[in-house]
Homo-oligomer: A and B are copies of this chain.
Amino acid sequence: MSNKIVEIHESVIETMGRISSFWGFSKIMGQLYGLLYLSSKPLTLQEMAESLSISKGNVSINIRNLLRWNMVKRVWVKGDRKDYYEAETDFWKIIRGVLREREKKEFSQALSSIGKLRQQTKELKRISKTADIAFTEERLKNLEEFIANMDKMVSVFITLEDLKKNFWDLTKKA
């Protein structure tokens, strides 16, 4: 590969690293993904470690996280016992997966926490009608409604994207 194209690859990898840490993943995860995304053939742990000048162990744990988020796939190369990896290139599929597992989980957790606490406050209000209990209940009500709405928005997004995907798959088959 020409010098210039190698430079371009490195810049893309750097950018991916920045994006990755911005979204709360590790920098290395983004860089590994960028490396694989720009590679026309699957790569081994060893190759990735050398390309990014990091240890094999570091690649190992970060690749495992990428696998967990379905951002890379492990592929088989016949006659070679090394593991090979390639990038998942369908970004919408990645987003759907991340929203489903990460955001969804966080929203429902927050929703149930706040819901429970609001319930406790309501019960308290039945017993004693003080100003601060009423105030707390009002605030928790608004908070719970907001989180429920965010939760719904994410669900709608996932559903829409799923529909789009299924429709696309159908048109391809037909």
Contacts and interface: CB of A to CB of B under 8 A. Distances in A.
Interface in A3-28: 4-5, 8-9, 11-12, 15, 18-19, 22-24
B146 A11 contact: no
A91 B1 contact: no
A101 interface: no
B106 A19 contact: yes
Contacts of A38: 135-136, 139
Contacts of A143: 12, 37, 91
A91 B8 CA distance: 41
Per DSSP, are chain A's interface residues mostly helix, strand or loop, or mixed? helix
Copies in the complex: 2
Contacts of A1: 130, 132
Contacts of A113: 11, 15
Contacts of A154: none
Contact of A12 (B117, B130, B132): B117
B5 A124 contact: yes
A110 interface: yes
9 contacts: A2-B130, A8-B121, A11-B113, A15-B117, A22-B24, A38-B139, A40-B135, A91-B146, A92-B146
Q: List 8 tightest A-B contacts by C-beta distance, closest first.
A: A91-B146, A15-B113, A40-B135, A8-B117, A1-B132, A11-B117, A22-B106, A24-B24
